[in-house]
Amino acid sequence: MHRAARVEDALHEIVERRLRNRGWRPVITAYTGYGAPGWARVMARVVLTRGTQSRTLEKVRGWRSFTSSPVNNAVVKIQIGDSITETRTDRSGYVDTRVKGDLEPGWGSVRLFTEGAAAVEAPIRVLDPETRFGLISDIDDTVMVTALPRPLLAAWNTFVLDEHARMAVPGMAVLYERLITANAGAPVFYLSTGAWNVAPTLTRFLSRHLYPAGPLLLTDWGPTPDRWFRSGQEHKRTTLQRLSREFPNIRWLLIGDDGQHDQEIYSEFAHAHPENVAAVAIRRLSPTQSVLAGAIPGPSGEAEAVGSGGKTWFTAPDGAGLWSLLRDTDVV
């Protein structure tokens, strides 16, 4: 195991032992999962808390999401109906497992238990086997203005800024609502390189700005068994590959921005899985934002076919512009 991972594990063990001696107890944070009739992907985290953890804080500073102490190797029981599956948390306190169970298409839930913590319900988006269209959306600078390419401002947004001060990208929530209205039953997955620590904050943000509910597919920052930090790009690539295996009959509209690596990652995926891509919609940053991001300013905004598995790409600066390009196509 990488030296950084060994150091992190040792620190977690020391902190967990001391906090337990001070009376801290486990709490389960459940994330929105997904699945299909017969199975569900369940995601959650077990951390230590001083007392009852409030879920309705009016003001939450970003740094608070990164100060929890994970519970390693905790036994977690997952109940779907009368079926109970037992698993364990990983070295960072996370549960990410696929379980069997009878769930009807639509929204369902599973129940999570661990010793010393109150049971919680984890929402599950269950896809109908007949579903043929869905949305996969980036978050940073696609639905939320985070200025992620600007390191200092990104750090401020992540660790300091009140979550209520974050701004939504104009028109994107309306675009998503129109797309799922035009395609009844279409799911929305939010795929980001962001850390799981901020999942509750992102969920509240999406709800507050009227984005359609859907699973967040985030990653865990920090050392891995073989490297200092996880690769955000690799996380996106492997997640897209996984969704193509789990839902081979769905064609996805891939939505991102041109500030980082979305275009490259979506292009690779469309080449490898053209049958799983309906089109690509890219929110175009302003020339100033593009330069700060180290990217070349994008094209004027017309729909154009590019060398990406033969799929059509749409580019515009906001949701209204993308809708004007998408609404008269076979994507909608």
Residue-wise pLDDT tens digits, 203-216: 999 999 999 999 99
Residue 231 resides in a domain: yes
How far does Cα 163 stand from its chain's mean position?
Answer: 17
pLDDT at 17 over 50: yes
Return the pLDDT at 302: 45
Q: Domain of 256?
A: 133-326
180 and 225 part of one domain: yes
Quick one: pLDDT at residue 211?
A: 98
Look at the block and give the residue holding tokens 């951390």: 47
End position of a domain, from candidates 97, 126, 155? 126
d(CA 62, CA 197): 9
188 three-state secondary structure = strand
The pLDDT assigned to 220 comes to 80
CATH number at residue 283: 3.40.50.1000
Per-residue exposure over 174-203, b if at least 16 CB sit within 10 Å of its own CB, e if not: ebbeebbeebeebbbbbbbbbbbbbbbbbb
* pLDDT over 70 at 287, yes or no: no
Instruction: State yes or no: pLDDT of 61 exceeds 90.
Output: no
C-alpha dist (Å) from residue 157 to 45, 64, 172, 243: 23, 13, 20, 30
Q: What is the CATH number of the domain that holds 39?
A: 2.60.40
Q: Number of folded domains in the chain?
A: 2
Residue count (the chain):
332
Could you tell me if 138 and 91 lie in one domain? no
Give dist(CA 118, CA 151) in Å, integer. 38
**Residue 169 banded pLDDT, cuts 50, 70, 90:** very high
Q: Are residues 145 and 293 in the same domain?
A: yes
Least confident of 175-184, 207-216, 289-298: 289-298
The pLDDT of residue 84 is 94
What is the number of alpha carbons within 13 Å of residue 326 lying toward its C-beta? 30
Residues 234 and 106 placed together within one structural domain of the fold: no
In this structure, the dihedral spanned by the alpha carbons of residues 271, 140, 232 and 266, taken in order and rounded to 10 degrees, is 0
- Residue range 221-280, pLDDT digits in tens: 655 555 445 567 899 999 999 999 999 999 999 999 988 789 999 999 999 999 999 999
Greatest mean pLDDT among 31-35, 158-162, 299-303 = 31-35
* Mean per-residue pLDDT of the chain: 82
Domain assignment present for residue 151? The answer is yes
Does residue 108 share a domain with residue 53?
A: yes
Q: Answer whether residue 331 is part of any domain.
A: no
Given this model, what pLDDT does residue 311 score?
75
What pLDDT sits at residue 154?
55
116 and 143 in one domain?
Answer: no
- pLDDT tens profile 100-158: 998 999 999 999 999 999 999 999 999 999 999 999 999 988 998 875 555 555 555 55
Residue 35 has pLDDT above 50, yes or no: yes
Percentage of the chain with pLDDT > 90? 55
* Residue 22 clears pLDDT 50, i.e. is over it: yes
> Given 126, 159, 180, which residue is the final one in a domain?
126
Whether residues 194 and 260 fall in one domain: yes
Are both 242 and 300 inside the same structural domain? yes
Q: In terms of domains, do 111 and 96 share one?
A: yes
Helices (H) and strands (E) in the chain, counts: 8, 17
Residue 155 in 3-state DSSP? Answer: helix
Considering the domain boundaries, does residue 332 fall inside one? no
- In 3D space, the residue among 135, 126, 117 whose CA is nearest the CA of residue 41 turns out to be 126
Who has greater pLDDT, 162 or 130? 130
pLDDT of residue 20: 61
Tell how far CA 1 is from the center of its chain: 27
Residue after which a domain boundary falls, among 85, 108, 126: 126
Phi, psi for residue 213 in degrees, rounded to 5? -70, 145
